[in-house]
Amino acid sequence: MKVIYCLMLLILTQCTLAQSDAKSKQIEEPKLVPFAKKMLPENVCYIVRDGGTEEPFSGKYVNHHEKGTYLCVACDHELFSSSAKYDSGSGWPSFYDVLNSKDVKQLHDTSFGMDRIEIRCSFCDAHLGHLFNDGPNPTGLRYCVNSASLIFIPNSSNHD
């Protein structure tokens, strides 16, 4: 059922994108929009600020298996570890746990006639995705996150 919900959301998202595409005749470099303390491309801002959803299987981290840490795209706080990432088959990067539960806040989301739990970065309020209870052990949770909301840092590199 959750996959159907995601597909419904995708269709709605596609309609919105098609409308905005029709307005701009040519595709240019993405415009940068301020969010939190950064300037983010418009398509990223559409997700983190407006609660949008990227197309399934389109994100750069869906089939990404490197070891490392996933940071919030808007404020660089560490949110997820590759050790809790798994292939959910949903089309979005999925984690069964967060690094620190207080760093990801949960909000009741009734948009699109659905009853879901939205997840956001606790530090900058960026929309990350949704939380479902069909994940694997040990938590049984699935943090379904947009790739656009994340930045991956491999274990071997320094990021400060």
Positions that interact with Zn ion (CB under 5 A): 72, 74-75, 121, 123-124, 126
Nearest to 81 by CA among 92, 96, 91: 96
Nearest to 143 by CA among 100, 111, 110: 100
| Tally of residues, the chain | 160
Of 6, 72, 75, 144, catalytic: 144
CB of 124 to Zn ion, least distance (A): 3
CB of 94 to Zn ion, least distance (A): 19
CB of 37 to Zn ion, least distance (A): 10
Taking the least distance from each CB to Zn ion, the nearer of 98 and 121 is 121
Taking the least distance from each CB to Zn ion, the nearer of 72 and 98 is 72
Cβ-Cβ contacts under 8 Å for 58 (sequence gap 6 or more): 91, 147
Q: Is 144 a catalytic residue?
A: yes
Taking the least distance from each CB to Zn ion, the nearer of 40 and 141 is 40
Cβ-Cβ contacts under 8 Å for 93 (sequence gap 6 or more): 59, 61, 62, 64, 70, 85, 144, 145, 146, 147, 150
Active site residues: 144
